[in-house]
Amino acid sequence: MENRSFGVEDIRRIREEDDARYRGMTPEEISRDIREGASVGLQIIEDIKLERAGRQAM
């Protein structure tokens, strides 16, 4: 995992990517896409928590 600062340029890049990705989609499609992406991210966080808890139990 890379550890670096997150700045204005990163936010600008993400906004541009989102604009291109969601152009032409309905609000419902955008919302569904965001929810699906969030569920993936939340699962990754949960997996990390479980992994850390397992290491602490040793």
Count the helices and strands in the chain (H runs, E runs). 2, 0
Residue boundaries of the structural domains of the chain: 27-58
* Positions in the chain whose pLDDT score sits under 70: 1-3
Q: Report pLDDT digits (tens) over 6-16.
A: 899 999 999 99
- The total of other beta-carbon atoms located within 10 Å of residue 40's CB is 8
Does this model's pTM top 0.75?
no
Please tell me whether residue 18 adopts helix, strand or coil conformation: helix
Question: Locate tokens 């569920």: which residue?
Answer: 39
- The total of other beta-carbon atoms located within 10 Å of residue 22's CB is 14
How far apart are alpha carbons 3 and 19 in whole angstroms?
26
Provide Rg for the chain, Cα atoms: 16
